[in-house]
Amino acid sequence: MKKIVIALALFSVFACQESKIGFVDTQKVMNDYQEKMDLEESLKVKMEAFGKKRDSISQSFQAKAQAFQTRAQKMAQSKAEEEYAQLQQQGQIIGQQLQQEEQKLQMESQTEMDSLISKVKKEINAYGKSNGYTYILGGGEGGSVLYGAEANDVTDPVLKVLNDGYKK
């Protein structure tokens, strides 16, 4: 009988403990996180530089093609066909190189963004542990929190921790 009373007492003690639950507006965190903004700016600069390079190479190749067309009128047909085939092959090589470079930039962008998301998740996890949360749920667009009391919104403190950590 004593064991049952002790078990019931322990059960009631644990049952009465409340879980500390908070939520983070993940969309706001990602939009206002300075490291993400800096990463996007860096990627934008790289894409613009690639765009200028691609445009320059394309213009140069087009000029070469126009010069060939002018010369081709004065050439023998077999010689013109041979040069045209070489020009076409150069165009394909240039196109493949540009496509590979663009894919490399896209992969780099995706890798860096995935790394950033992983870092944010780890930081939210650490914030939850250090502040005694049982759960921190994701809110915002596509999040799992349909409603949350403002008192449970830990978006701003988490964002502050992330931005302060990034500044260091």
Q: Over the stretch 53-99, which tens digit does the pLDDT of each residue have?
A: 999 999 999 999 999 898 888 888 888 899 999 999 999 999 999 99
Residue type, 57: I
CB-CB neighbours of 18 under 10 Å: 6
Given a cut of 60, is residue 130 above it in pLDDT?
Answer: yes
What CATH fold (topology level) applies to the domain 18-167?
Answer: Protein Binding, DinI Protein; Chain A (3.30.910)
Q: Taking a C-beta distance cutoff of 8 angstroms, is the pair 33, 155 a contact?
A: no
Rg (CA), the chain: 30
Q: How far is CA 20 from CA 71, 78, 128, 137, 140, in A?
A: 79, 82, 9, 11, 20
Identify the three-state secondary structure at position 23. strand
Tell me, rounded to whole angstroms, the distance of Cα 95 from its chain centroid.
26
Mean pLDDT, to the nearest integer, of 21-29? 92
Eight-class DSSP state of 139:
E
Q: Over the stretch 29-62, which tens digit does the pLDDT of each residue have?
A: 999 999 999 999 999 999 999 999 999 999 999 9
Tell me, rounded to whole angstroms, the distance of Cα 91 from its chain centroid.
32
> How confident is the model at residue 17, as a pLDDT?
60
φ, ψ at 146 (rounded to 5°)? -90, -30
The model's pTM: 0.74
> How confident is the model at residue 8, as a pLDDT?
41
